[in-house]
Amino acid sequence: MSGLFRRLIPLVNKQTGTHLTLARSRVGHSISQTRMFLKKRLWIWPIIAVVLLSTLGYGVRSAISYTIRAHLESQLQTLLNVETSMLQTWFEVQESNAESAANRMRVREIVDQLMETGRPASTHNLGTETSIPDLHAELRHELSPTMSAHNYVGYIIADKDQKILSASSPELINKVEVPGLEYLFTAMLDGKTTVCPPFLSVDALKDTYGKTRTGVPIMLVSAPIRDERMQVTGLLAFQFHPELKFTEILQLGRLGESGETYAFDRQGVMVSNSRFDEQLIMAGLLADHENSKSLLNIEIRNPGVDVTQGARPELRRGKQSLTTMAANAVAGNSAVTVEPYNDYRGVPVVGAWKWLDQYGMGVTTEVDYEEAFRPLTILQWMFTGLYVLLGASSVVIFVFTLVVARMTKDAQKAAVEAKQLGQYELENKLGAGGMGVVYKAHHAMLRRPTAVKMLSIDKVDAASTARFEREVQITCQLNHPNTIAIYDYGRTPEGVFYYAMEFLDGLDLQQLVEKYGPQPEGRVIHILKQVCGSLYEAHSKGLVHRDIKPSNIMLNRRGSEPDVVKVLDFGLVKALDENKNAGMTANASLTGTPLYMSPEAIQSPLAVDNRSDLYAVGAVAYFLLTGHPVFSATNIMELCRQHVDQAPVPPSQRLGRVISPELEDAILACLEKNRAKRPQTARNLAHMLARLPESQKWTENEADGWWSRHERGLPAAQVNASMVAVPTLLTRGDRVAPDSGSSEKPSMTTPGFDQTMISQEID
């Protein structure tokens, strides 16, 4: 039991004493609130649209991103394959040219003659009719057609000791281990024909602008020279400018406006011209002078910042690391990636690269990441724009809703202040509760006194409106004369919800006992029989009241009939078929008033039936007879435990005097813990009460006399407080303190311990 009720909290109402009712759980309340909230709050739909659009956008973006990446990878790889294939084809053509020249008989003879002498060409002869200068001249003549046909700018012939035997540039003759030729000699010793990466010439050559100078970017294609035994004796190399065909081939391949393809050597030096030379000059990566080129002047290193935007790197160029692409390529790895990395300008790019080991160089094709993924960026901006638009729409609709709500409330207040509610003219306020207000009114044409109940204008929400509607719909199904009658229900053009019911000018049983004390046995029986009649009709329709208590039973003089009972407040009624009111009362929630709650309503809220109402009738009878509730406690947990476990003190023992044993037995039968031992229907209980001897002791004359003596002492317009009281829901940890101005601590024994409702969650 302590686990079941450990979250119950005692509350105090300083005006009417302490009264506790367990309302629906927060879970059920939240579900109902959410459903009504989405139905009424238009401004929430743009927010929902943003959430749905975000989910859709994420999925679409992922799909498009995957497609773009796959397509981009394919494009990069295809372009790289095409470029390297074109280069290799061109290289093979150059190699074929060199092999053809190196294998000519006369060229081999001249080279053999040059190798036979160790004397300088200017001072020695071969002892033959042909001098060395003539051999050089004849060699130039022999190679001239090949050079002219293929735009070679020079040639070099060397022996196996890397000594230059002959060259188009006389200053190279007889030099040994000329810089830049190492790669060629390695290939020569292996008997291979090859093309070496570009390097700066040590001899004076004409550049592409026709200016003769040293340090001209040059490439060599070499082929081994063999003797008659096919042994390698030397090499023949032709010189040509890389800016021409080599760079042209590379610059043919590019993606978009920012794409480029270029080559680089093992040191990470660019060996072809970049498309962005002008940009590199502006960024300070290239010297700003005429005919400045990136060829052999740019290292493929990551500056760490985008130098094209004016940023300056923190490290000198020589201390910067190679780009991701260059580092992988010189390590011999070929790959393609669409993950961004910085290129030699510091611009994020994606690319593919391949290392051509037989030529000692790598080739890469790259494109700016921003351009490559521009469709994705556009899509992102489009979705962002829609998010902003929908968010703005939500704000506008929300503001509009607030304005309309304020205007509606003003109109509702104006209607109430004008004392006009549909066809009903309001007179004076009879009472007000947590959520409802009751006015005495009359129909504009019928002029019949009426009680009009409406929702408090400042406290209207979806849950209260739903409960309000449900209360009137259920009550309208009941026609018993001891059930309060509903005349009308509606909503004014201003949006004020109301229903009109019969006007009751009596007092409820709580007030009856508080003001006039315990009641005679005959009158108690007379009241209980009428309550049973009202409940029997409700039970026959499959409805359980669940909140029978003294303050929900009115005693009135109706016409010429005194002591007419009216059962009120069917707002917490439970349909035995739960589908009839799904969502209005949470599953596994405690609902009712603890002072009058049956054991099964505490232990198994879903299991309540008509016999639970009869337990409450017995508790009301106990209160009417003794002036005290069945059990008294200082907190709800203890009170509920007593209802479940403790036998009630007999009314006669509580009063200290003898009362009718039959009536006491009937009351205690209603208060049995086991439902099977209680009266099974309200009609059974009514028949049991009718057979009691005391049932005839409260006559109509006695009732008339009582009303004649006391009617003037009643409040001018007494209306049952429960007709305007709506549950107050408190979450875990809430407390309601007694009035700070009162020195008396409220207790559970205080009469009227039945005005505040709390919500309870069941573990």
Please state, in angstroms and rounded to a whole number, the distance separating the CA atoms of residues 735 and 726.
Answer: 18
Most confident of 299-313, 412-426, 720-734: 299-313
- Which residue type does 533 have? G
Where is pLDDT greater, at 413 or 125?
Answer: 413
Q: How confident is the model at residue 153 (pLDDT cuts 50, 70, 90)?
A: very high
- In the numeric block, which tokens belong to residue 416? 């109430």
pLDDT at 740: 33
71 pLDDT above the threshold of 80: yes
* Span 433-440, average pLDDT: 75
pLDDT at 130: 60
Query: Matching CATH topology for 2-40+504-759 and 419-502?
Result: no
* Least confident window among 277-281, 589-593, 685-689, 755-759: 755-759
pLDDT at 576: 55
Of 547, 569, 613, 754, the active-site residue reads 547
Radius of gyration of the chain (CA): 52
pLDDT at 677: 94
693 pLDDT above the threshold of 50: yes
pLDDT at 569: 79
648 pLDDT above the threshold of 60: yes
Q: pTM, whole model, 2 decimals?
A: 0.52
112 pLDDT above the threshold of 70: yes
Which residue is listed with tokens 């979250």?
7
- pLDDT, one tens digit per residue, over 80-111 is 999 999 999 999 999 999 999 999 999 998 98
- Return the percentage of the chain with pLDDT > 70, whole number: 80
Please state, in angstroms and rounded to a whole number, the distance separating the CA atoms of residues 125 and 158.
Answer: 19
390-to-238, 399, 401, 403, 535 alpha-carbon distances in Å: 69, 14, 16, 20, 53
641: enclosing H helix or E strand: helix 636-645
Q: How many CB atoms lie within 10 A of CB 580?
A: 12
pLDDT at 634: 87
pLDDT at 422: 75
- In the numeric block, which tokens belong to residue 524? 């108690």
Beta strands in 266-368 (DSSP E): 335-342, 348-356, 361-368
- When the candidates are 3.30.450.20, 3.90.700.10, 2.40.50.1020, 3.30.70.360, the CATH number that belongs to 71-75+245-375 is 3.30.450.20
- CB burial of residue 58 (10 Å; 0-12, 13-18, 19+): exposed
Please state, in angstroms and rounded to a whole number, the distance separating the CA atoms of residues 403 and 405.
Answer: 5
pLDDT at 284: 85
Q: How confident is the model at residue 717 (pLDDT cuts 50, 70, 90)?
A: very low
- pLDDT, one tens digit per residue, over 363-398 is 999 999 999 988 888 877 887 887 788 778 778 877
- pLDDT, one tens digit per residue, over 318-341 is 899 999 999 999 999 999 999 999
* Span 114-133, average pLDDT: 58
Architecture of domain 104-240: 2-Layer Sandwich (3.30)
Most confident of 172-186, 411-425, 427-441, 605-619: 605-619
231 pLDDT above the threshold of 70: yes
488 is catalytic: no
Among 324, 374, 503, 302, residue whose Cα is nearest residue 65: 374
- In the numeric block, which tokens belong to residue 706? 């009582």
Return the SS3 of 221.
strand
* Span 631-657, average pLDDT: 92
pLDDT at 318: 86
- pLDDT, one tens digit per residue, over 2-49 is 444 434 433 333 333 334 433 334 444 444 454 444 455 666 676 777
pLDDT at 249: 93
Q: Are 334 and 315 in contact (CB under 8 A)?
A: no
250-to-15, 108, 398 alpha-carbon distances in Å: 94, 35, 60
Architecture of domain 419-502: 2-Layer Sandwich (3.30)
Phi/psi at 420 (nearest 5 deg)? -135, 120
Beta strands in 540-625 (DSSP E): 543-544, 553-558, 561-567, 574-575
Where is pLDDT greater, at 496 or 334?
Answer: 334
Instruction: Please give the mean pLDDT across all residues of the chain.
Output: 80
The angle subtended at Cα 74 by Cα 72 and Cα 75, nearest 5°, is 65
- pLDDT, one tens digit per residue, over 551-563 is 999 999 888 889 9
DSSP 45-106: HHHHHHHHHHHHHHHHHHHHHHHHHHHHHHHHHHHHHHHHHHHHHHHHHHHHHHHHHHT-HH
Domain boundaries, the chain: 2-40+504-759, 71-75+245-375, 104-240, 419-502
Give 414-453 as a 3 state SS string. Answer: HHHHCCEECCEEEEEEEEECCCEEEEEEEECCCCCEEEEE
* Span 513-536, average pLDDT: 94
- When the candidates are 1.10.510.10, 2.40.40.20, 1.20.1090.10, 1.20.1560.10, the CATH number that belongs to 2-40+504-759 is 1.10.510.10
* Span 352-357, average pLDDT: 95
742 pLDDT above the threshold of 50: no
